[in-house]
């Protein structure tokens, strides 16, 4: 899979999980202690988050990392 497509799919997955838990982007950014602009870039697939960042997102959303990166 093309890396740009993969980044977009992971971002969409994060957004879907976040919205399913009724969290705003600001809420999740605060939980992660990151700027909300950084989270926007992740959700839009404009940046390549580190594995640590993805793990922290999973922890904040109470999902395991494989659920975030399983985008096939």
* pLDDT tens per residue across span 26-51: 999 999 999 999 999 999 999 999 99
The pLDDT score that the predictor gives to residue 18 is 98
**Nearest C-alpha neighbor of 28 from the set 6, 7, 53:** 53
The matching CATH number, chosen from 3.40.50.1000, 1.10.260.40, 3.10.129.10, 1.20.120.530, for 3-69 is 1.10.260.40
Question: pLDDT band at 1, cuts 50/70/90?
Answer: confident
Mean pLDDT of 12-23: 98
Cβ proximity of 28 and 60 under 8 Å: yes
> Residues of the chain with pLDDT > 70: what percent?
100
The pLDDT score that the predictor gives to residue 72 is 79
């Amino acid at each position: 899979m093309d890396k740009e497509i993969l980044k977009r799919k992971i971002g969409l997955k994060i957004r879907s999980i976040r919205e399913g838990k009724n969290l705003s982007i600001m809420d999740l950014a605060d939980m992660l202690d990151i700027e909300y602009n950084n989270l926007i870039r992740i959700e839009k697939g404009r940046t390549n988050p580190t594995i640590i960042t993805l793990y922290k997102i999973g922890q904040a959303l109470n999902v395991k990392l494989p659920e975030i990166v399983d985008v096939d």
